[in-house]
Amino acid sequence: MASQQDLIDEYETTGTLSALPLGHFIGGAFSQPSHNRTMESFDPGRGTAFARFTAGTSEDVDAAVVSSRKAFETVWRDMAPVERARILTKTAELILENLDLLAVVETLDCGKPLQESIGDVRGAARTFEYYAGACDKLQGDSFPLAGDYIGYSIHEPVGVTAHIIPWNFPISTAARGFAPALAAGCTVVAKPAEQTPFTALLLAKILSDAGLPDGVCNVVTGTGVETGAPLTQHPGVDHITFTGSVQTGKAVMKAAAEDVTRVVLELGGKSPVVVLADCDKEQAFNGVMGAIFENAGQICSAGSRLVIEKSIHEEFVSELVKRTKALKIGHGLSQPELGPVNSAEHLEKIAGFIDRAKDRGAKIAVGGNVTTDPATGNGWFFEPTIVDAVPVKDELAQEEIFGPVLTVQVADDADHALELANDCQYGLVAGIYTSNFAKAHQLARKIDAGQIYINEYFAGGIEVPFGGNKKSGFGREKGIEGLKSYCKTKSIAAKIS
């Protein structure tokens, strides 16, 4: 198996990787598409194509759904939970054995620094390990009925599940959907983003190598119009897990309504990081920087709004600016502190937000410009940016930019900080930095978000349920709550006298 450095050397020499798959993964193997069409996949760090992949159609989607339906009804639904657990455990092991390949491919496909991709792959392995342990512990309840009756419930797999995977965390999002669905006894049809198709395909092959029966996990690649929409509209799908924009999420909901298909939606965010005057400042500096500049800010739960108490605002932002200027920018394989954004189109969108802000007279404390990899002059990069003292109704404080742009809002005190934190259409996560334990938990109760981090942004792991409120979506992934998303509860009552 090629080492990380071997893979990097191969890419530097040839401009591609020989281990990249071609074709959809249907019925336990890579298969020829219905039409022999391909698309380019781009390396954001160079701004050039590095591989081609299959452009699927509704016919391919139908083949995948039929394959998953057959596997669900004949093999997977009735397999003993302990046997499912063994397959998921083996999957976790094989993910780690293939860590170098998966991480390098992830970096080339979505642009993020290699060290972040390595963390994502390790997280994917942990996800399968976690849900492997849950397979044979998914149990129902008994109900206290009168003496002549017995009542109990069981959790049944919902059936064929569709997974629409975003481009910012391809392997992480695939794993957090595949693993609980498979643990519950469901089958999977996945459509990765057209910008980042490869790790979902590789993950499907790893599952097969781990012993997953043919047809239980299928992956179809292509555009949202030609493969994503047919998948969410397919009458053979029983559940849809979607991660992406609010606009597309609404379209998915409308498509699901036609057949009353269940949905879990993880949509946008404009998450506040509340920093109070009594915080541990070094802890807060590190937390705020990581919250917005990890993966170049392309995270639904990024801490994109700094809500800071007035008494420490000036000194805190001054130090943030100093640290931001020192960030190393570069191609993901060079393991920089800040990598590129995913596409030329997305770079243009980020720049548009900042250009409009400049026209309004916004105070750009640092950054604010399109740039390139200093080593090559290539790639799709945006300078790490801080915009200070932004009014509450400004679009920078209300809209998801999805880039390395931190919006600063100044609060008079903790009560005002709470007001600012909640004055937004999104409610995915929030961060709180304070040394006052009681105040932290009071704020945590009152901030309208699906998950709250206290004194460490992105705290927790696969064990902690994740999902949003308001326009950030509904339903939960991760944890046991995420497992229940793929179950339907059946209640049984009987007269026994």
Annotated active-site positions, please?
266, 300
Residue 489 phi/psi, 5-degree rounding, is -90, 130
Picking from 320, 342, 387, 480, the residue whose alpha carbon sits closest to that of residue 42 is 342
Instruction: Point out which residues pair with 212 in neighbouring strands.
Output: none
- The span from the CA of 152 to the CA of 492, in Å, is 5
Reported as type and span, the H/E element at residue 182 is helix 170-184
Per-position b or e across 375-389, b if 16+ CB within 10 A of its CB: eeeebbbbbbbbbbe
- The span from the CA of 113 to the CA of 379, in Å, is 13
3-state secondary structure (DSSP) of residue 349: helix
With beta carbons less than 8 A apart as the criterion, state whether 65 and 189 touch: yes
Q: Please report, for residues 437, 458, 490, 492, 493, the alpha-carbon distance to residue 146 in angstroms, rounded to integers and kept in the order given.
A: 46, 47, 20, 14, 11
Measured from the Cβ of residue 468, the count of other Cβ atoms closer than 10 Å reads: 26
Helix 198-209 to helix 99-110 angle, to the nearest 10 degrees? Answer: 160
Q: How far is CA 316 from the centre of its chain?
A: 30
CA dihedral of residues 208, 214, 219, 221 (deg, nearest 10): 110
Picking from 297, 191, 304, 315, the residue whose alpha carbon sits closest to that of residue 241 is 191
- The span from the CA of 128 to the CA of 83, in Å, is 14
- The span from the CA of 482 to the CA of 220, in Å, is 23
Instruction: Point out which residues pair with 491 in neighbouring strands.
Output: 153
